Every structure is written in C-alpha cells, then in structure tokens.
Amino acid sequence: MTSMLCGTARLSLLCAIAVLCFTGCSWVERTTKTPPPAAENRAATDVLLPFGNPSGAYADPGNHENYLVTKRSFAISYNDRRGTANWVAWRTTAADLGETIPRPQFEPDPDLPRGFGVINPSYYSRSGYDRGHLIPSADRFADRGLNADTFLMTNIAPQAKGLNQYPWEKLERYARGIVRRGDDIYTIAGVYGEQGRLKGRVTVPTNFWKVIVVLPHGSNEISEATKVIAVDMPNSGSVASANWQKYLTTARAIEQKTGYNFLSALRPEVQDAIETRPDVHPNASR
C-alpha cells in the first residue's frame, strides 16, 4: 500500500511538473513573439507615415524599444530604454507655419503606456544639454494645441547647445523656407549612439540625423527626381561654427547607421535613386 501511494504521489508530481513546463513554455512564447501592428494604428500610420514606417514601430505596451506614438500631426518611434525617440516623422505645409507664439511648458507624454518610465523635463536641468526638439516648435506655430505637442518629452532629446542653436536650427529655418516658397516637406528626424546618460535614465546620443523629402504642395507624388536632403550631425558643441551643409549625406548612409528603412512604401527603383543621391549645396565643405 505504501509503495502504491508513493508511486501515485510521484505520478502526480510528474504531471504537475509537466503542466508547469507546458504553461511556462507557452507563456514565454506568448511574451517574446512580436505581435503585428494593431488594426487601430493603421489609419493613423497611413496619414502620418505615408511612405513607410522606418523601424516597423507598433503600439504594444510590451514593445519598449520601438513603441509607436501617434500624435495629431506627427508619429514617433519611442524607445523607453533610451528615454528618447528613435525617430519622429511629420509633414510641414504653409498652413502649419505662423508667427511666434508663447512658448509652452515641457511636459511628460501622457500617451505612453503604464510601465514606461516617466521622463521629466527636470532631468535636463544643469546637464549642459538643451532640450532638443526633433519636430521643431516653429513647424507648428499656426496651432497652439499642435505646438504644445512638440513640447512633450517624447519629442525631446539631449542636444549640445552648439548643435541645437546653430547648424541644426539653421537647417530647420532652411526647410521652412522651402515651405514658404510653395512646396511641402516630409521629414523624418532622429538620433543614434550613446555618449552618456542624464540622471541615469536619458541617453545622450552621439548623432542627430534628418531626412527631408521635398513634395509638390498637397501631393504625395515622389519620383526618381524628387529632392531629398539628408544630414547626419555629431552631437557636439564644437559644430557651432559649421554650416549645416557640411553634414550632408544620403538617406541610405543613415539607414546603414541606424538599421532603419526609409521610404519603404516606394517602388524599389525610386527608393534606390533618391536614397543614394546626395543633395548638392554650396559651402558644403565648410
């Protein structure tokens, strides 16, 4: 009888272990499998990312390194591990521009899911770095609500003053000049690399980059002749005296640095033509 009871107990134990193993393995599979983009995100990305999603970002709370945030007028791939965006994408038209408006306060982004770290504006205080916008505030001066969105911390990264206030800002002005002359622009801007952390939480990038596609007003038409401006700038105060044209590169070169795929919705021959052709500007060597 005792032997029979022991055998039964051993069998029960083995069954319990088998159940735990099965459910445990199933849990691991469920949590590590990458889910497809949610259907409710597709409408927003069709409008905000008409030429493709550079990193395949999607809005799932378990996706901490490539979480898709869709604002009213721009899209973000947010990296909770870095405490900054990977990239931000937006369109600028003449209707978005306007006169200078009162500057809003920087705020944490309320659209991040529970479980993501909260990045406070105070993390940048006395750090030596500016709160650098990816989509510029001035690209949304025409609407105070849309402008306030650009001051959410998901659109901000630590930027050296010499970069933020000189070549980066001059490129922003140049891009708005294109819009004022009658075209629209579609821009993707982001960061890569690491050269430290603010408060142990916010990654200081080594580089800021930007890809600008110049479009006829009101159109999404892109051909092999479409003008594309791509820059890759070191995040250093030493660049203050340089022209932004010095940092011209190609979209394909930035793809190779970041692993992203820009303009992936285009026909391959069009994508190859415009991503591998550097834009030409005077004083580019300075």
Per-residue pLDDT of 245-283, as tens digits, reads 999 999 999 999 999 999 999 999 999 999 999 998 766
Predicted pLDDT of residue 284: 67
pLDDT of residue 45: 77
Q: Which of 64, 133, 217, 281 is catalytic?
A: 133
The count of other CB atoms within 10 Å of the CB of residue 245 is 20
- Quick check: is 64 catalytic? no
C-beta neighbour count of 248 within 10 angstroms: 18
pLDDT digits (tens, 9 = 90+) for 20-32: 333 333 322 222 3
What is d(CA 84, CA 101) in angstroms, rounded to the nearest whole number?
25
Average pLDDT across the chain, whole number: 88
* pLDDT value of position 26: 30
- Read off the pTM: 0.85
For residue 212, give the nearest of 175, 264, 247 by alpha carbon.
Answer: 175
Instruction: Calculate mean pLDDT across residues 211-226.
Output: 97
Evaluate if residue 197 carries a pLDDT over 70: yes
- Mean pLDDT lowest among 2-6, 135-139, 167-171, 225-229: 2-6
pLDDT higher than 60, residue 238:
yes
Q: Which amino acid would we find at residue 141? A: F
Pair of tokens at residue 197: 């952390």
What is the residue-wise DSSP string for 145-193? HHHHHTTBGGGEEEEEHHHHTTHHHHHHHHHHHHHHTT-EEEEEEEEE-
Q: What is the pLDDT of residue 39?
A: 54
pLDDT at 46: 83
Strands in 84-92's sheet, in edge-to-edge order, are 67-70, 74-79, 84-92, 184-192, 207-215, 228-234, 248-249
Average pLDDT over residues 229-256: 98
Give pLDDT tens digits for 172-194: 999 999 999 999 999 999 999 99
